Structure 1
Amino acid sequence: MKAFDSLLKDMDFKFLSSGEHSMSIEGMRKVLGNDHFVFLDVRTDEEVKYLSFPFAVHIPMNELPDRLDEVPKDKFIVPFCSSVFRGALVYIYLKANGYKEVKGLTASSEDMATAFKPGPLAKM
């Protein structure tokens, strides 16, 4: 709990306004395919049945405590979900568990799906 407390205390105006804790769709596009970045889909199995992202590792948020060893500490982890909420919780969870390189995706899964339509995809 001390790590969590410390993280919360560090999240002041300067931290939040810097944007260092987050990644946009444009940021995602820039690093997609870079092996150092792992996109962590923390949505439920039911959600993934209807919309999946083949470049992402899928571990539902509620399973993460039991499957944390599947998330590499030597990579840059970008958790995401359908609404940003769970991604933000997982951001804090990973940081509290000693992960150094973590950013939460500031886009919903709907925004991500839009980014992979033919026009935007061709620009990647």
Structure 2
Amino acid sequence: MDALPDTLEKCGVLPHGVRDEAANAPPYAEGGGMGLSPGSSRIPGRIVLRRGSGWSTNAIRIEVFMEQLMRNFTLNFFGKGIHKVSPEAFLKGKNGYLLDVRSKEESASIFIKLEFHSNIECQNIPINEVPDRIDEIPKEKSIAVFCPANVRSSIVYAYLLLKGYPDVRILEGGYSALTDALRPGSVLKAVQNK
């Protein structure tokens, strides 16, 4: 959990100060009743649960961070494209990791290998397997999450931010943008540079 606030601050989605409030917030509300007290913390919208409620402090922190993440997904954030990377820019980068979150069947039908792009490692981990296989995704690489319509990749993007991954983006454009970036001239350059 400690890496999450650092990651969110680096990505510009968590304002300074909120991380300290979330980390130091009491795990349970004081008093009786249902224990739901949205106004009991300085963090807007935070629900603090009473003892015996079954919710852990970490679950509440995750909720707080996810809410803050969503609050900062503004027009400015999306307008600047902070959350995405073009295939051309990603293929030119260093130490890249293409995370293909399509199903096994989709991946078997159109397999993405990028064999001649030695700067990119590719792996298919279907979205439903990502939580169980999170340790296979390297934190030290620039991650581009891929799916054809950017729905699944958007979900995994937010999940990886939540898990503390510092450099993750959505690979924009789906199949057509990726195949455009892999036209013969681009592939020839990659082969010559290998």
Same fold? TM cut 0.5 = yes
Aligned to 1:19: 81
* CA-CA distance at 1:52 after TM superposition: 0.9
Q: What is the RMSD computed on CA atoms of the aligned residues?
A: 1.6
Output the amino acid matched with 1:50.
Answer: S
Q: How many residues align?
A: 121
Once residues 152 and 186 of structure 2 are traced to their aligned partners in structure 1, the CA distance between those partners, rounded to angstroms, is 26
Aligned to 2:128: 62
* CA-CA distance at 1:120 after TM superposition: 4.2
* CA-CA distance at 1:121 after TM superposition: 2.5
Distance 1:45 1:30, change over 3 A: same
Aligned to 2:159: 93
Q: Any unmatched runs of 5+ in structure 1?
A: none
Once residues 102 and 95 of structure 1 are traced to their aligned partners in structure 2, the CA distance between those partners, rounded to angstroms, is 7
Q: Is the 8 A contact 2:98 2:146 kept in 1?
A: yes
* CA-CA distance at 1:15 after TM superposition: 1.0
Q: Which has the higher contact order (CA 8 A, sep 6+)?
A: 1
Aligned to 2:137: 71
Output the amino acid matched with 1:54.
Answer: K
Q: Name the SS for the 1:53 alignment partner.
A: coil
Aligned to 1:52: 111
Once residues 136 and 188 of structure 2 are traced to their aligned partners in structure 1, the CA distance between those partners, rounded to angstroms, is 32
> Matched residues, percent identical?
34
Once residues 141 and 166 of structure 2 are traced to their aligned partners in structure 1, the CA distance between those partners, rounded to angstroms, is 9
Q: Which runs of 4+ in 1 moved over 4 A?
A: none
Once residues 98 and 154 of structure 2 are traced to their aligned partners in structure 1, the CA distance between those partners, rounded to angstroms, is 13
Greater Rg by CA: 2
* CA-CA distance at 1:118 after TM superposition: 2.1
Aligned to 1:121: 187
- Using the size of structure 1 for normalisation, the TM-score is 0.87
Q: Name the SS for the 2:133 alignment partner.
A: helix
Q: Which has the higher helix share?
A: 1
Mapping for residues 36-51 of structure 1, pairs under 5 Å: 36-51=95-110
